[in-house]
Amino acid sequence: MWGFVTPPSSPATYLVLVCGTGAFGGFLFGFDTAVISGTVGPLERQFRLGAALLGWTVSSALLGSVIGAAASGTLSDRYGRKISLILVRPPRPANAERSE
C-alpha cells in the first residue's frame, strides 16, 4: 500500500496526514472557486453576457470541477494514478491552443 514511502509510526500521525491531505484538497478547490469568481468581470465585458447567462457560465465551470473531482477518484481506483493522468492530459494542450 505504501510503495516507496514508509508507513507512519503511529495512528495519530496517519490521521494527521490523511486530514492534512483532505484539507489541502479543500483549499485547492476553494482556490479554483476564487479564480472562477475573478473571471466574472472580464467574461461579462468580453462576451456582453447578461446576468442569467453569466450565472450559467460560472456555475457550469464550478459544476465541471465538481464532476472532474468526483470522476478522478473513480479513474484512479480503476486504472491507477499514472494512467489516469495520461488519460486526462490530452485536452489540456488543445484548450491552451484555443485560448490564444
Mean pLDDT across the chain: 80
Rounded-to-integer distance, Cα 14 and Cα 35, Å: 32
Could you tell me if 54 and 95 lie in one domain? yes
pLDDT at residue 48, rounded to an integer: 92
Question: In this predicted model, what pLDDT tens digit does every residue of 17-51 receive, in sequence order?
Answer: 888 988 888 887 777 777 777 888 888 999 999 99
Residue 4 lies in a domain: yes
Could you list the residue range(s) of the whole structural domain that residue 10 is in? 1-38
Tell me which residue of 70, 60, 24, 12 sits closest to 39, measured CA to CA: 60
Q: Is the pTM of this model over 0.95?
A: no
- Residue 44 forms part of a structural domain: no
Residue 9's Cβ-count burial label (10 Å; 0-12, 13-18, 19+) is: exposed
Task: Give the whole-angstrom CA distance, residue 56 versus residue 64.
Answer: 12
Q: Examine the domain organization and report whether 62 and 30 are in the same domain.
A: no
Shared domain check, 34 and 75: no
Mind listing the pLDDT tens digit for each residue in 60-97? 887 887 888 788 888 888 888 888 878 777 666 665 56
Contact between 36 and 61 (Cβ < 8 Å): yes
59 & 15 share domain: no
How many domains does the chain contain in total? 2
In a domain, 43, yes or no: no
Same-domain check for residues 29 and 57: no
